[in-house]
Amino acid sequence: MDEAFVDLRRNTYAGSGADSFWPSFTDIMMVVVMIFMIASTVLMLRNWDLVQELRATIEAERQAEEMARFATQTSATLEEQLAQAQHLISELRMQLMQANESDQEKTRQLADKERRLLALEADKQRLAADLQQSQREIRLAEDRLAEAQSEHAQLAAAHATQRERLQEVLGDLTRIEQTSQEQATALATLRQQRSLAEQQLLSLQGTYDEIKIKYDKLVRPARSAVGKFVVAVRYSRQDDDYNISMKQMDAASYESVSEEELHQRLTALKEKYSGSLYVKIIIPEDSGLSYNEASSFTFDLLGKYDYYHQDAP
Protein backbone atom coordinates (compact mmCIF):
# COMPACT_ATOMS: atom_id res chain seq x y z
CA MET A 1 0.00 0.00 0.00
CA ASP A 2 2.87 2.37 0.62
CA GLU A 3 4.09 1.94 -2.95
CA ALA A 4 0.75 2.56 -4.66
CA PHE A 5 -0.57 5.70 -2.99
CA VAL A 6 0.95 8.71 -1.36
CA ASP A 7 0.19 9.11 2.29
CA LEU A 8 -1.27 12.62 2.72
CA ARG A 9 -1.64 12.50 6.41
CA ARG A 10 0.12 15.18 8.41
CA ASN A 11 3.51 14.46 9.82
CA THR A 12 3.67 11.14 8.09
CA TYR A 13 7.09 11.89 6.74
CA ALA A 14 8.20 13.85 9.65
CA GLY A 15 10.84 11.47 10.28
CA SER A 16 12.03 11.50 6.66
CA GLY A 17 12.66 15.20 6.39
CA ALA A 18 11.08 18.36 4.88
CA ASP A 19 12.15 17.65 1.29
CA SER A 20 9.70 14.77 0.81
CA PHE A 21 6.58 17.09 1.03
CA TRP A 22 6.97 18.99 -2.29
CA PRO A 23 7.24 16.05 -4.67
CA SER A 24 4.08 14.64 -3.23
CA PHE A 25 2.28 17.98 -3.76
CA THR A 26 3.59 18.13 -7.35
CA ASP A 27 2.16 14.75 -8.07
CA ILE A 28 -1.19 15.82 -6.72
CA MET A 29 -1.24 18.99 -8.82
CA MET A 30 -0.28 16.97 -11.86
CA VAL A 31 -3.16 14.67 -11.30
CA VAL A 32 -5.53 17.64 -10.86
CA VAL A 33 -4.18 19.27 -14.03
CA MET A 34 -4.57 16.03 -15.98
CA ILE A 35 -8.13 15.64 -14.73
CA PHE A 36 -8.85 19.26 -15.73
CA MET A 37 -7.33 18.76 -19.16
CA ILE A 38 -9.21 15.52 -19.69
CA ALA A 39 -12.46 17.17 -18.62
CA SER A 40 -11.73 20.18 -20.81
CA THR A 41 -10.97 17.94 -23.74
CA VAL A 42 -14.20 15.99 -23.23
CA LEU A 43 -16.10 19.22 -22.85
CA MET A 44 -14.51 20.69 -26.00
CA LEU A 45 -15.31 17.54 -27.94
CA ARG A 46 -18.89 17.66 -26.78
CA ASN A 47 -19.08 21.37 -27.54
CA TRP A 48 -17.64 20.71 -31.00
CA ASP A 49 -20.31 18.10 -31.65
CA LEU A 50 -22.95 20.52 -30.43
CA VAL A 51 -21.52 23.23 -32.68
CA GLN A 52 -21.62 20.87 -35.67
CA GLU A 53 -25.17 19.87 -34.85
CA LEU A 54 -26.12 23.55 -34.42
CA ARG A 55 -24.52 24.41 -37.76
CA ALA A 56 -26.30 21.51 -39.42
CA THR A 57 -29.59 22.64 -37.85
CA ILE A 58 -29.05 26.24 -39.00
CA GLU A 59 -28.20 25.06 -42.51
CA ALA A 60 -31.28 22.85 -42.54
CA GLU A 61 -33.41 25.78 -41.36
CA ARG A 62 -31.88 28.02 -44.04
CA GLN A 63 -32.58 25.44 -46.72
CA ALA A 64 -36.11 25.01 -45.39
CA GLU A 65 -36.63 28.79 -45.45
CA GLU A 66 -35.21 28.94 -48.98
CA MET A 67 -37.51 26.15 -50.09
CA ALA A 68 -40.47 27.84 -48.40
CA ARG A 69 -39.61 31.18 -50.04
CA PHE A 70 -39.26 29.50 -53.45
CA ALA A 71 -42.55 27.67 -52.91
CA THR A 72 -44.21 30.96 -51.90
CA GLN A 73 -42.87 32.74 -54.99
CA THR A 74 -43.95 29.84 -57.19
CA SER A 75 -47.42 29.83 -55.61
CA ALA A 76 -47.73 33.61 -56.00
CA THR A 77 -46.66 33.36 -59.64
CA LEU A 78 -49.19 30.60 -60.31
CA GLU A 79 -51.95 32.53 -58.54
CA GLU A 80 -51.11 35.64 -60.56
CA GLN A 81 -51.15 33.65 -63.80
CA LEU A 82 -54.45 32.07 -62.77
CA ALA A 83 -55.94 35.50 -62.00
CA GLN A 84 -54.73 36.85 -65.33
CA ALA A 85 -56.16 33.85 -67.13
CA GLN A 86 -59.51 34.27 -65.35
CA HIS A 87 -59.54 37.99 -66.19
CA LEU A 88 -58.76 37.22 -69.85
CA ILE A 89 -61.53 34.61 -69.91
CA SER A 90 -63.97 37.17 -68.44
CA GLU A 91 -63.02 39.75 -71.09
CA LEU A 92 -63.40 37.18 -73.86
CA ARG A 93 -66.78 36.13 -72.43
CA MET A 94 -67.92 39.78 -72.35
CA GLN A 95 -66.73 40.28 -75.92
CA LEU A 96 -68.65 37.16 -76.94
CA MET A 97 -71.79 38.45 -75.18
CA GLN A 98 -71.39 41.83 -76.88
CA ALA A 99 -70.94 40.13 -80.26
CA ASN A 100 -74.06 38.01 -79.65
CA GLU A 101 -76.10 41.07 -78.67
CA SER A 102 -74.83 42.97 -81.71
CA ASP A 103 -75.72 40.01 -83.94
CA GLN A 104 -79.21 39.83 -82.43
CA GLU A 105 -79.69 43.59 -82.91
CA LYS A 106 -78.55 43.36 -86.53
CA THR A 107 -80.89 40.40 -87.09
CA ARG A 108 -83.80 42.36 -85.61
CA GLN A 109 -82.97 45.41 -87.73
CA LEU A 110 -82.77 43.22 -90.83
CA ALA A 111 -86.16 41.70 -90.02
CA ASP A 112 -87.64 45.17 -89.51
CA LYS A 113 -86.21 46.30 -92.86
CA GLU A 114 -87.66 43.23 -94.56
CA ARG A 115 -91.08 43.91 -93.02
CA ARG A 116 -90.91 47.55 -94.11
CA LEU A 117 -89.85 46.44 -97.58
CA LEU A 118 -92.81 44.07 -97.83
CA ALA A 119 -95.17 46.80 -96.61
CA LEU A 120 -93.75 49.30 -99.08
CA GLU A 121 -93.99 46.75 -101.89
CA ALA A 122 -97.65 46.22 -100.97
CA ASP A 123 -98.18 49.99 -101.03
CA LYS A 124 -96.47 50.15 -104.40
CA GLN A 125 -98.75 47.45 -105.80
CA ARG A 126 -101.80 49.21 -104.38
CA LEU A 127 -100.67 52.49 -105.92
CA ALA A 128 -100.13 50.77 -109.25
CA ALA A 129 -103.63 49.28 -109.06
CA ASP A 130 -105.07 52.71 -108.21
CA LEU A 131 -103.18 54.20 -111.14
CA GLN A 132 -104.52 51.57 -113.50
CA GLN A 133 -108.02 52.21 -112.20
CA SER A 134 -107.54 55.92 -112.76
CA GLN A 135 -106.36 55.28 -116.32
CA ARG A 136 -109.39 53.07 -117.00
CA GLU A 137 -111.69 55.75 -115.65
CA ILE A 138 -109.93 58.36 -117.75
CA ARG A 139 -110.40 56.26 -120.87
CA LEU A 140 -114.04 55.75 -119.92
CA ALA A 141 -114.43 59.48 -119.40
CA GLU A 142 -112.86 60.14 -122.79
CA ASP A 143 -115.32 57.72 -124.39
CA ARG A 144 -118.21 59.44 -122.66
CA LEU A 145 -116.88 62.81 -123.73
CA ALA A 146 -116.63 61.67 -127.36
CA GLU A 147 -120.20 60.42 -127.26
CA ALA A 148 -121.34 63.70 -125.74
CA GLN A 149 -119.55 65.63 -128.47
CA SER A 150 -121.18 63.56 -131.22
CA GLU A 151 -124.64 63.83 -129.67
CA HIS A 152 -124.50 67.48 -128.62
CA ALA A 153 -122.64 69.38 -131.31
CA GLN A 154 -124.46 72.55 -130.32
CA LEU A 155 -122.62 72.43 -126.99
CA ALA A 156 -119.17 72.73 -128.61
CA ALA A 157 -118.15 75.56 -126.34
CA ALA A 158 -119.10 73.57 -123.24
CA HIS A 159 -117.30 70.54 -124.63
CA ALA A 160 -114.20 72.63 -125.29
CA THR A 161 -114.28 73.74 -121.68
CA GLN A 162 -114.68 70.16 -120.59
CA ARG A 163 -111.73 69.14 -122.77
CA GLU A 164 -109.62 71.79 -121.12
CA ARG A 165 -110.60 70.30 -117.79
CA LEU A 166 -109.68 66.90 -119.17
CA GLN A 167 -106.25 68.18 -120.16
CA GLU A 168 -105.81 69.50 -116.63
CA VAL A 169 -106.77 66.08 -115.30
CA LEU A 170 -104.30 64.42 -117.67
CA GLY A 171 -101.63 66.80 -116.39
CA ASP A 172 -102.56 65.82 -112.84
CA LEU A 173 -102.32 62.18 -113.87
CA THR A 174 -98.85 62.78 -115.33
CA ARG A 175 -97.76 64.34 -112.08
CA ILE A 176 -99.25 61.37 -110.25
CA GLU A 177 -97.24 58.99 -112.44
CA GLN A 178 -94.07 60.98 -111.79
CA THR A 179 -94.78 60.89 -108.07
CA SER A 180 -95.37 57.15 -108.33
CA GLN A 181 -92.01 56.69 -110.07
CA GLU A 182 -90.30 58.70 -107.36
CA GLN A 183 -91.99 56.53 -104.76
CA ALA A 184 -90.83 53.36 -106.55
CA THR A 185 -87.26 54.66 -106.51
CA ALA A 186 -87.56 55.51 -102.83
CA LEU A 187 -88.95 52.04 -102.12
CA ALA A 188 -85.97 50.42 -103.90
CA THR A 189 -83.49 52.27 -101.66
CA LEU A 190 -85.31 51.26 -98.43
CA ARG A 191 -84.56 54.62 -96.87
CA GLN A 192 -87.99 56.22 -96.71
CA GLN A 193 -90.04 55.76 -93.61
CA ARG A 194 -93.49 54.33 -93.60
CA SER A 195 -95.09 57.53 -92.37
CA LEU A 196 -93.79 59.39 -95.45
CA ALA A 197 -95.15 56.65 -97.72
CA GLU A 198 -98.56 56.90 -96.02
CA GLN A 199 -98.57 60.68 -96.46
CA GLN A 200 -97.67 60.31 -100.13
CA LEU A 201 -100.37 57.67 -100.49
CA LEU A 202 -102.84 60.01 -98.80
CA SER A 203 -101.83 62.80 -101.18
CA LEU A 204 -102.14 60.52 -104.22
CA GLN A 205 -105.47 59.19 -103.06
CA GLY A 206 -106.71 62.71 -102.45
CA THR A 207 -105.63 63.66 -105.97
CA TYR A 208 -107.32 60.54 -107.28
CA ASP A 209 -110.51 61.41 -105.40
CA GLU A 210 -110.41 64.90 -106.88
CA ILE A 211 -109.96 63.43 -110.36
CA LYS A 212 -112.82 61.03 -109.80
CA ILE A 213 -115.04 63.82 -108.56
CA LYS A 214 -114.13 65.91 -111.60
CA TYR A 215 -114.99 63.08 -113.99
CA ASP A 216 -118.17 62.20 -112.17
CA LYS A 217 -119.27 65.79 -112.46
CA LEU A 218 -118.22 66.59 -116.04
CA VAL A 219 -121.83 67.40 -116.92
CA ARG A 220 -122.45 69.19 -113.59
CA PRO A 221 -121.34 72.63 -112.51
CA ALA A 222 -118.10 72.65 -110.55
CA ARG A 223 -118.33 72.66 -106.76
CA SER A 224 -117.92 76.25 -105.61
CA ALA A 225 -118.08 78.14 -102.34
CA VAL A 226 -119.41 81.27 -104.05
CA GLY A 227 -122.75 82.26 -102.54
CA LYS A 228 -122.55 79.40 -100.04
CA PHE A 229 -122.32 79.34 -96.28
CA VAL A 230 -118.81 77.92 -95.69
CA VAL A 231 -117.93 75.81 -92.65
CA ALA A 232 -114.29 74.73 -92.27
CA VAL A 233 -113.55 71.53 -90.33
CA ARG A 234 -109.99 70.63 -89.39
CA TYR A 235 -109.20 67.02 -88.42
CA SER A 236 -105.94 65.57 -86.99
CA ARG A 237 -104.61 63.01 -84.53
CA GLN A 238 -101.92 63.25 -81.84
CA ASP A 239 -100.93 59.88 -80.40
CA ASP A 240 -104.34 58.25 -79.71
CA ASP A 241 -106.32 61.51 -79.38
CA TYR A 242 -108.38 62.76 -82.34
CA ASN A 243 -108.68 66.55 -82.55
CA ILE A 244 -111.62 68.21 -84.34
CA SER A 245 -112.07 71.95 -84.70
CA MET A 246 -114.50 73.97 -86.83
CA LYS A 247 -114.92 77.56 -87.95
CA GLN A 248 -117.96 79.12 -89.56
CA MET A 249 -117.50 81.78 -92.18
CA ASP A 250 -118.57 84.50 -89.74
CA ALA A 251 -116.20 83.28 -86.96
CA ALA A 252 -112.74 84.71 -86.31
CA SER A 253 -110.96 81.50 -85.26
CA TYR A 254 -111.33 77.73 -85.00
CA GLU A 255 -113.22 76.20 -82.09
CA SER A 256 -112.36 72.74 -80.71
CA VAL A 257 -115.42 70.45 -80.64
CA SER A 258 -116.18 66.79 -80.07
CA GLU A 259 -117.43 64.55 -82.86
CA GLU A 260 -120.95 64.48 -81.44
CA GLU A 261 -121.05 68.26 -81.10
CA LEU A 262 -119.71 68.62 -84.66
CA HIS A 263 -122.58 66.54 -86.09
CA GLN A 264 -125.12 68.46 -84.05
CA ARG A 265 -123.88 71.82 -85.33
CA LEU A 266 -123.63 70.65 -88.94
CA THR A 267 -127.15 69.23 -88.76
CA ALA A 268 -128.48 72.56 -87.53
CA LEU A 269 -126.59 74.46 -90.24
CA LYS A 270 -127.83 72.06 -92.92
CA GLU A 271 -131.43 72.71 -91.88
CA LYS A 272 -130.80 76.46 -91.78
CA TYR A 273 -128.87 76.71 -95.06
CA SER A 274 -130.55 73.96 -97.05
CA GLY A 275 -128.84 73.50 -100.42
CA SER A 276 -126.15 76.11 -99.74
CA LEU A 277 -123.99 74.62 -96.98
CA TYR A 278 -120.39 74.26 -98.16
CA VAL A 279 -118.29 71.98 -95.91
CA LYS A 280 -114.52 72.43 -96.30
CA ILE A 281 -112.44 69.58 -94.83
CA ILE A 282 -108.84 70.44 -93.85
CA ILE A 283 -106.34 67.64 -93.20
CA PRO A 284 -103.01 69.19 -92.01
CA GLU A 285 -99.77 67.89 -93.51
CA ASP A 286 -98.64 66.60 -90.11
CA SER A 287 -102.10 65.32 -89.17
CA GLY A 288 -100.85 61.88 -88.07
CA LEU A 289 -103.88 60.26 -89.79
CA SER A 290 -103.90 57.25 -92.05
CA TYR A 291 -105.54 57.41 -95.48
CA ASN A 292 -108.51 55.32 -94.34
CA GLU A 293 -109.12 57.58 -91.33
CA ALA A 294 -108.86 60.79 -93.36
CA SER A 295 -110.97 59.57 -96.31
CA SER A 296 -113.64 58.03 -94.07
CA PHE A 297 -114.00 61.26 -92.09
CA THR A 298 -114.06 63.41 -95.25
CA PHE A 299 -116.59 61.40 -97.24
CA ASP A 300 -118.81 60.93 -94.19
CA LEU A 301 -119.13 64.69 -93.54
CA LEU A 302 -119.46 65.63 -97.22
CA GLY A 303 -122.05 62.94 -97.87
CA LYS A 304 -124.18 64.02 -94.91
CA TYR A 305 -123.98 67.81 -94.97
CA ASP A 306 -122.28 69.33 -98.07
CA TYR A 307 -124.73 70.78 -100.65
CA TYR A 308 -122.83 69.38 -103.63
CA HIS A 309 -122.87 65.80 -102.40
CA GLN A 310 -126.51 66.05 -101.37
CA ASP A 311 -127.42 66.61 -105.01
CA ALA A 312 -125.06 63.93 -106.35
CA PRO A 313 -126.79 61.15 -108.31
What is the number of alpha carbons within 13 Å of residue 203 lying toward its C-beta? 17
Count of residues making up the chain:
313
Give the torsion sign (CA, 299, 300, 301, 305). positive
pLDDT tens, residue by residue, 225-264? 888 999 999 999 988 889 999 998 888 899 999 999 999 9
Residue partners of 290: CB distance under 8 A and separation at least 6: 198, 202
Are 159 and 145 within 8 A, CB to CB? yes
The string of pLDDT tens digits covering residues 253-276 is 999 999 999 999 999 999 998 788
Structure confidence at residue 99 (pLDDT): 76
Q: Please, are residues 283 and 289 in contact by the beta-carbon 8 Å criterion?
A: yes
pTM: 0.33
Return the pLDDT at 206. 66
Write the pLDDT tens digit of every residue in 152-200: 777 667 667 877 877 887 787 788 878 767 777 766 676 667 667 666 6
Cα–Cα distances in angstroms (integers) from residue 38 to residues 5, 24, 46, 52, 159, in the given order: 21, 21, 12, 21, 160
Contact (CB, 8 A) for 243 and 235 = yes
C-beta atoms surrounding 215 within 10 Å: 19
pLDDT at 198: 66
